[in-house]
Structure formats: C-alpha cells, structure tokens
Structure 1
Amino acid sequence: MFSTIASWVDRKSVRALLAAVAVLATVMLGPFAFILVAVGPREPLLFLLGLGGIAGLLGGGARIWLGARFFALPAWARIALALLITAGTCAAFLAALALPGKIYWATAAPLVGVAGLALLAGSVTGPGPGPNNSSKPTPLRGAA
C-alpha cells in the first residue's frame, strides 16, 4: 500500500499540487510559525508548535523537490526528512490549540496536515517495481 502511495506522490501532477499546497502553507502559516518560535521563552508549547511547523515546511519541501530521488538518499537522511514531515503534520493538526476554532478552519492548516499525511505515507517505502519496458525480444535461452 505504501509503495502505491509513493508512486502516486511522485507523479509530476501530484507533486505540482503538493508544491502549491506547500507554497500556500509557507505564505499563510510560515509567518505564524516564526511568531510562535519568537514567543518561545514565555510559552514553551507554542514554541514547539512553531518549531514543528518550520520543520514540516522544510521536510515537506525537500520531499516534494526530491521526488522519487528521495529513495536514493541514505537511510538516515530519509528518516530525518520523515521526522521533519511528521513534526509539521502534527503541528498543522495541533494548530487548533493555538488558534480559535473558527480561525483554524479558515486557514490552510487542515489541508496542510492532510498533505503532510500523504507525503509521510509516500515516504515509508519506495514505489514498487514498474513494468519491464525493454524493447529486446525474449532472450534466447540455451543458445550457445
């Protein structure tokens, strides 16, 4: 199932849609995340929420930009990016704690959370093997 999601996420059209969501999130939620980080010394939970948002924007942007090349990265880099995406997804859904309900649903945070879940699921395992598009005829077996 995860390989199917990975191949779906790595399609050019889906990556373009996810990139549009990432740009929207950066414009609408990025400044909010930086403000929460700036408030950090007085409100540690808001600081963590802002830090998670910034981490998610970085991790999600990297995953979208890399596309299928993501799976060619070393395991530690894939895990690090997946953790950044996880932090951002959690921050997007937990933004309801920092925002009043009506404002939360009016922002892109729920959409960003769902996009983060799709990116995270598409980062678990690589796409499955594709069809053999070889133009060679069936190999001659037993021919010397």
Structure 2
Amino acid sequence: MFSRVASWIDRKAVRGLLAGVVVLATVLLGPFALILVAVGPREPLLFLLGIGGVAGLIGGATRIWLGPRFFALAKCARVVLATLVAAGVVAAFLAAFALPGNVYWATVAPLVGVAGLLLLAGSVTGTGPGPNKSSKPTPLRGAA
C-alpha cells in the first residue's frame, strides 16, 4: 500500500499540486509558525508547535522537490526528512488547540495536515520493481 502511495505522490501532476499546497502553507502558516517560535521563551508549548510547523514545511518541501530521488538518499537522511514531515503533521493538527476553532478551520492547516499524512505514507517505502508478470512459459530443464 505504501509503495502505491509513493508512486502516486511521485507523479509530476501530483507533485505540482502538493508543491502548490506547500507554497500556500508557507505563505499563510509560515509567518504564524515563526511568531510561535519568537514567543518561545514565554510559552514553551507554542514554541514547540512553531518549531514543528517550520520543520514540517521544510521536510514537506524537500520531499516534494526530491520526488522519486528521495528513496536514493541514505536511510538516515530519509528518516530525518520523514521525521520533519511527521512533526509538521502533528503541528498542523495541534494548531486547533493554539487557534480558536473558527479560525483554525478557516486556515489551510487541516489541508496541510492531510497532505503531510499523504507525504508521510509515501515516504515509508519506494516503488519496487513489482511482481514478475511475464507471460513466457518456464523452460523445461532436463527434458530431452
């Protein structure tokens, strides 16, 4: 299932759509995340929420930019990027507690959270070679 999500995410049209979501999220939620990072000394939980948002934007943009080359990275680099995306997903959904409900649903945070979940699922495993669908009969060995 994860390989199907990865192959779907790595299509050019889907990557373009997800890149649009990242740009929209960066423009609308990026300043909010930076403000939360700025109030860090007074509100540690809001600081963590801001760090998670910034990390998610960076991880998501990198995953989309790399496309299928993501799976050619070293395992530790893939884990770091997937962790950044996961932090962003958590921050997107926890933003409901930082913002009033009517404001939260008016932002793109839920859309970004769902897009992040798709990116995370598409980062678990790459598209494999798939099963052998050869129609050739197996050769008979030893039959003379």
Q: Give the TM-score normalised by the residue count of structure 1.
A: 0.90
Supply the distance in 2 between the matched residues of 1:131 and 1:10 (Cα, whole angstroms): 20
Which runs of structure 1 show a deviation greater than 2 angstroms over 4 or more consecutive aligned residues?
none
In the alignment, which residue of structure 2 is the partner of 1:59? 59
Q: CA deviation at 1:128?
A: 2.5
**Which residue number corresponds to residue 76 of structure 2?**
76
Q: Which residue of 1 aligns with 2:37?
A: 37
TM-superposed CA distance for 1:129, in Å, is 1.5
Between the aligned partners of 1:28 and 1:122, the Cα distance in structure 2 is 24
Equivalent pairs counted in the alignment come to 136
C-alpha distance in 2 between matches for 1:30 and 1:3: 30
By how many angstroms is 1:131 displaced? 8.4
Shift, 1:17, TM fit? 0.5
Counterparts of 1:62-141 in structure 2, within 5 Å, are 62-129=62-129
CA shift, 1:130, in A, is 5.4
Query: What SS does the aligned partner of 1:46 have?
Result: helix
Query: What residue is the counterpart of 1:13 in the other structure?
Result: 13
Task: Render the CA deviation track for 1:7-61: whole Å, top value 9, x for unaligned.
Answer: 0000000000000000000000000000000000000000000000000000000
Q: For 2:107, give the aligned amino acid.
A: T
* Residues 4 and 128, structure 1, Cα contact 8 Å, conserved in 2: no
Q: Distance in 1 between matches of 2:130 and 2:69?
A: 16
Percent identity between the two aligned chains: 76
Aligned CA-pair RMSD: 1.8
For structure 2, the residue ranges without an aligned partner over 5 or more in a row are 133-140
Deviations 1:75-118 (A, max 9, x none): 00000000000000000000011100000000000000000000
Distance in structure 1 (CA, Å) of the matches to 2:7 and 2:115: 15
**What is the alpha-carbon distance in structure 2 between the residues aligned to residue 100 and residue 17 of structure 1?**
28
- Normalising by structure 2, report the TM-score: 0.90
Structure 1 portions without partners, runs of 5+: 133-141
CA distance in 1, matches of 2:8, 2:104: 29
- The answer to whether the Cα contact below 8 Å between 1:2 and 1:125 also exists between their aligned partners in 2 is yes
Task: Pick which of 123-132 and 40-49 moved more.
Answer: 123-132
